[in-house]
Copies of this chain bind each other. A is one copy, B any other.
Amino acid sequence: MKELLKLNDDPRVHGVYLHLPPAALTNRVLNSLKPEKDVDGISDWNTGKLVRGPLSTGFVPPLASAVLHLLENQEDSLEGKTVLLVGGESPFRLVLQCLIERRGMVTAKSHWDSKNAVVLLDAGNVDIPPNWGRLGVVMICFGSLVLSSLHSLFSFIVRQNVVRSCTRWLQEQQYKPWRLRSLKLQPLTPVPSDLQISRAQTAKPVNHLAEEIGLLPEELEVYGRSKAKVRLSLLERLNSQPDGKYVLVAGVTPTPLGEGKSTVTIGLVQALSAHLNLNSFACLRQPSQGPTFGIKGGAAGGGYAQVIPMEEFNLHLTGDIHAITAANNLVAAAIDARMLHEATQSDKALFSRLVPSVNGVRRFSPIQISRLRRLGIIKSDPSSLSPEEVNSFVRLDLDPEKITWHRVVDTNDRFLRKITIGQASTEKGLTRETGFDIAVASEIMAILALADSMEDMKSRLGRMVVGTSRSGTPVTAEDLGVSGALAVLMKDAIKPTLMQTLEGTPVFVHAGPFANIAHGNSSVLADKLALKLVGEDGFVVTEAGFGADIGMEKFFNIKCRASGLRPNAVVLVATIRALKMHGGGPSVSAGAPLPTEYISENLNLVSGGCQSNLKKQIQNAQQFGVPVVVAINVFRTDTPAEIDLVCQLAKECGAFDAVPCHHWMQGGRGAVELAQAVKEATSKPSYFQFLYDLQMPIVEKIRTIAKRIYGADDIDVSAEAQRKIDYYHEQGYSTLPICMAKTHLSLSHLPERKGAPTGFVLPIRDVRASVGAGFIYPLVGTMSTMPGLPTRACFYDIDIDPITEEISGLF
């Protein structure tokens, strides 16, 4: 009774469903519950008749049906509310316990969607943990209210009904076979513009697509009609579901025009799902908005292998990059503000502001406790700190010359590459030189791509090193007190975005880190979700940036290490154009017309390219023990003899298979041969292994990549690089994997050396670390992290019709 009264006043309890035998329904009980909290009226368990109830007259379903009812039908009025179901004892509890253990809720491991949340507390425990307020139907059985007679009276009927409803509910949680309705394509000749093709097709409403691939409605957060975020709770629901096959699309060393890895990725899933009727998912990187308005235009694939609607894909999408920008720049603002505050305040003033007295009490926040721990101060009472401890706590003492953190914008703004900040008089002369990068170059983007849970992301964000103190200690985002806020800013960004291909097959778009200073692969989480969704016989196709020597190597050594996932096959994309270039053809550059070698048959050049670059990249994949399928992305000017030659030579060089692809002109139908080859390749066992052991010294890891992947004779480490390596070793970062920042236009560090260069020594100019993301990146050249705008940028042609809202000029 006391508990009941307590519930009346608990704002987190929105309703109570009281189910008791008649003997227990004394007036005292009947009147104890506030009418507002009475869900269905207090009912007589025996007849199911309503004893008292403001909402309805007549029959109230028996207890177990009510549970079912609550779970399934009451979403309108009870959704997300905390409803206590009072009464019932062990059988009921046991069944629920079993149910709950299946979902892992007892250990509160997951975020559950409100609709299906079921929480069981032990008898007598009526304290609802504060963070359960958002959970849905909370059922609490507590013994103190339950009369002893209750047990036997209830047991049979309750057991039957609860078991039945729980079974049904558990069924809903199982893996669901796909019922994918693919969209028909009628490719036109000549192939219209990407935007025209995208617009001529109508995307399925994304919630329909989600239903087709077995997502539960509560796992989906729809953003408009064509995009939706998918909740990570899916990973737990399908925890016991075996993963599908994991396929990486990489490429030969490309020409500056790109060889079409994205279109192959999309064409391949279109073929698998829409033509071979196999479940498949493409996992793609989100493009930066900067180049969309600069030189490059859109990045949603091309021709009849695209993600649609392409304008949604290329613009804000679901705001992930904006969230990264906000988080990145909050760190930057915190750095400079902190330096100003430290420069202008005494230790005491800083301490009294950082640990303010609230109603006469000073308390450390959890984030400050973490910093104290790192400083080796195991105290929790602010007044107990010695002056030295106060000093080391309040002073990050950042060295302005050694701040590595840059601000970011998702705009091609070259004038922000190098700037001086703090020139207003309010900043008291604390000017310093720094710069902006494009948003996707932020370490936070790399973290988003590598995190495998909210918890993991949050701790990586806290570990990010923003600079070093004057005494040489790394200063982290957590030291700045900002790591919780960063996780809050990134809470939606961590969920992958679901979209679809032109043929209506599912796509995840998630994260798009740079492929030089970062690892250039889409997110671990999207791959993991997709691998569960496609089921054991399905396929997840993901793409690595740049050529295989960079994107694929990082995929294996960095991304697969972070995720624990093991790839089943590599698709190596080649174009006749790129192979001719590697075979000794004249140089290719963007904007200039292609030399005739590239538009008429030249078997010699093709052969040269196959024997050099293609062969080396096939071997590179094989060093990781994964079978390779070569996909020739066919252009109109390629001749049958050229294509046949590549197929033949690729197989001679060790490829499992080699096939031409016509997805750009034909959509999935044009990539059916590739899909079949991939299916075949993944049915074979794969013997995946990493290239290097993390315990190797940093220099040895770099040397291994340079020699075995690039074909270098050795590496040449500059003094500056060596100094940094020693420092990272000292700081305990030496077991991080290596993320090479090298040109993608050659296997070597010299862009003009095509084919498979040998006899070179790879210079390591400098070495940096992304400690939060978890890799060390040696710089092999100068990497631009902020593009510029050309004289006539894309934006000149981009427009929107204010009446129809049709966008033009994206391509």
Residues of A at the B interface (CB closer than 8 Å) are 9, 11-12, 14, 34, 36, 76, 79-81, 108-111, 114, 131-134, 184, 186, 188, 192, 196-197, 199-200, 202-203, 205, 208, 221-225, 229, 289, 293, 311, 315-316, 319, 322-323, 325-326, 329-330, 332-334, 336-337, 340-341, 345, 350, 353-356, 365-368, 407, 409-424, 426-427, 430, 433, 435, 453-455, 457-458, 481-482, 484-485, 487-489, 491-492, 788-807, 809-810
Contact = CB atoms under 8 A, between A and B. Distances in A.
B412 A423 contact: no
Contacts of A794: 485
Contact of A353 (B36, B422, B455, B790): B790
A576 B314 CA distance: 52
Contact of A414 (B12, B419, B427, B798): B427
A386 to B, nearest CB: 21
A426 B414 contact: yes
Contacts of A410: 326
B800 A454 contact: yes
Nearest to A11: B200
A108 B36 contact: no
A326 B186 contact: no
Given A365-B796, A411-B333, A802 B76 contact: no
A336 B413 contact: yes
B224 A803 contact: no
Contact of A796 (B332, B430, B455, B481): B481
A330 B293 contact: yes
Contacts of A353: 790-792
A318 to B, nearest CB: 8
Contact of A108 (B222, B417, B804): B804
A319 to B, nearest CB: 5
Those 4 A-B pairs whose CB atoms lie nearest each other, nearest first? A484-B799, A322-B322, A485-B795, A80-B202
Nearest to A430: B415
Centre residue among A289, A356, A368, A793 by max chain B CB count within 10 A: A793
Nearest to A188: B11
Contact of A11 (B196, B337, B789): B196
A792 to B, nearest CB: 5
A9 B367 CA distance: 64
B788 A337 contact: yes
A521 to B, nearest CB: 23
- Best-surrounded residue of A418, A427, A433 (most CB of chain B within 10 A): A418
Contacts of A453: 802
Contact of A131 (B133, B350, B804): B804
A806 B423 contact: no
Given A229-B224, A333-B789, A488-B807, A454 B802 contact: yes
Contacts of A424: 414, 417-418, 435
A333 B413 contact: yes
Nearest to A364: B796
B184 A36 contact: yes
Contact of A326 (B11, B316, B797): B316
Contact of A806 (B131, B311, B411): B131
A134 B186 CA distance: 17
B423 A420 contact: yes
A414 B385 CA distance: 31
Contacts of A455: 802-803
5 contacts: A289-B326, A355-B792, A407-B409, A420-B420, A485-B798
Given A36-B186, A482-B795, A487-B799, 11 more contacts: A80-B202, A111-B804, A134-B806, A221-B224, A315-B488, A322-B322, A330-B411, A337-B793, A458-B802, A484-B798, A485-B795
Contact of A804 (B134, B368, B414, B492): B134
Contacts of A487: 799-800, 802
A792 B356 contact: yes
Contacts of A311: 488
A12 B197 CA distance: 9
A627 B513 CA distance: 57
Nearest to A807: B488
Given A229-B224, A421-B419, A111 B805 contact: yes
A316 B809 CA distance: 28
A192 B11 contact: yes
A326 B333 contact: no
B366 A799 contact: yes
A350 B341 CA distance: 48
A481 B796 CA distance: 5
B485 A111 contact: no
A430 B788 CA distance: 14
Nearest to A342: B791
Given A76-B208, A804-B108, A202 B14 contact: yes
A433 B427 contact: no
B330 A795 contact: yes
Contacts of A192: 11
A259 to B, nearest CB: 24
Contact of A484 (B197, B488, B800): B800
A491 B76 contact: no
A32 to B, nearest CB: 16
Contacts of A368: 796
Contacts of A225: 221
A492 B226 CA distance: 13
Given A329-B411, A409-B329, A367 B799 contact: yes
B458 A800 contact: yes
A500 to B, nearest CB: 13
A132 B803 CA distance: 11
A380 B85 CA distance: 76
Contact of A413 (B12, B329, B423): B329
Contacts of A184: 36
